[in-house]
Amino acid sequence: MTEKKMKKTQKGGFVSKRTSKTDRTGSEGEYPKRRKVEVIISEQEVDESGLKLSAQTLSSEVIERGRKIQKKIQTSLSEKLHKVLADAGIGSRRDMEELILSGRVSVNGVPAYVGQRVLPTDIVKINGRPVKRANKDVNKPPRVLVYHKPTGEIVSMDDPEGRPRVFDRLPRIRGGRWIAVGRLDFNTEGLLLFTNNGALANRLMHPRYEMEREYAVRVQGQLTDEKKEKLLQGVELSDGLAKFDGIEEAGGTGFNRWYKVLIKEGRNREVRRMFESVELPVSRLIRVRYGEIHLPQNLVRGKFIEMEAEIVEAWLNTIGFNEAEKVPETKTSRKTVSPRSKVQKGEGTKVARSSKRPNPLTSTVHYIANGGFSEGKRKSRVNARSRN
């Protein structure tokens, strides 16, 4: 016989908890103890290799540096409170100062004071009622998930073979989708980032920014100094030259050896192919860091954590990502003439007429509707007649 008890959770909900009336081990109604969480690397391998994962996603130095940058940005975005209230159409700035002195204005639930500066994200109230601010533009930071990918999962939205997908474990997102930052092959495990912002994903993956990746690699055999130097200088693969930016021994005895490698690009199976080029097959591959983000030590395989908005803001500031990168640069109205379009004839300079060409930012249908093809053909016929 068992009885049900209700246990209150931290979120305020209740879950049922069964307890047995008897203290006998293995009696009816008694649930077995939970199994211990599987660790990333066994204790024996840790002792042999000395591999240790970071206890947190971002180091305290990175977070502190990002917070200082964020504070400067917030200061530049802040406005005087009495100006914000005046812009909202409540009254003049002098009247708003008197309103603040009367104690009827609060910012984020705290009484306001004259000269206070507020951010677009601050909640301003008068007599307990929120103020609808003029041209309020609140830019929430992108959402970022840190996922510990196990082996046996594919980083793809659709797999013809029906293998398990990493996206099956992620939470649903409204009005968007999760974008994987890079890929890990089917037999590789470790850190995998997801975001709902395409510009951020492109910023993290683009080869121009050389985002550093760190891997823990277990190979079959020992890496000699000659082979190490070859991997650092570069080896020729089927898709071009590839090299490591750093190689460090991480322990291991006997046939299996652990190494930590750094690389600034993410081609398909690149780390495995590089070690295979020096006749060292990879038996295990774990990504432990992507840029400044480390794989948390307490994050088990197949689980994810979402980075807090404040931490995301700090991280984005350290990598130089801001809202300006999301907006494409607008072309200036000033017309420039390329040197190739100038045709030297005698003493004067004549600008050659260019035929109407399609704008790659517009659709083909729009180009046809504006007479692009017919206009181009007409001008080509005119040019041919003039040559004859």
Question: For residue 85, what are the CA distances in angstroms to 81, 92, 112, 175, 216?
Answer: 6, 8, 12, 33, 55
* CB contact set of 204 (below 8 Å; sequence gap of 6+): 181, 182, 193, 195, 211, 290, 291, 319
Instruction: Give the tokens for residue 152.
Output: 């046996």
Token couple for 197: 């912002």
For residue 328 the two structure tokens come to 């494409």
Strand partners, 257: 219
How is residue 277 written in tokens? 């080029």
CB 64 within 8 A of CB 273: no
* 27, burial (CB in 10 Å: exposed 0-12, middle 13-18, buried 19+): exposed
CA distance 279 to 69: 46
Whole-number Å distance between alpha carbons of 250 and 50? 6
Q: Name residues whose C-beta falls within 8 Å of residue 350's C-beta, 6 or more positions apart in sequence.
A: 342, 343
The active-site residue out of 122, 185, 239, 245 is 185
364 burial via Cβ count (<10 Å: 0-12, 13-18, 19+): exposed
Helix extents (H) in the chain: 43-49, 60-77, 81-87, 93-101, 198-205, 225-233, 270-277, 309-319, 364-369, 372-387
Q: Would you call 245 a catalytic residue per the annotation? A: no
CA dihedral sign of residues 303, 309, 310, 315: positive
Q: How far apart are CA 303 and CA 38, in angstroms?
A: 12
- Report d(CA 266, CA 269) in Å as an integer: 8
Residue 156 DSSP code: S
Residues annotated as catalytic are 185
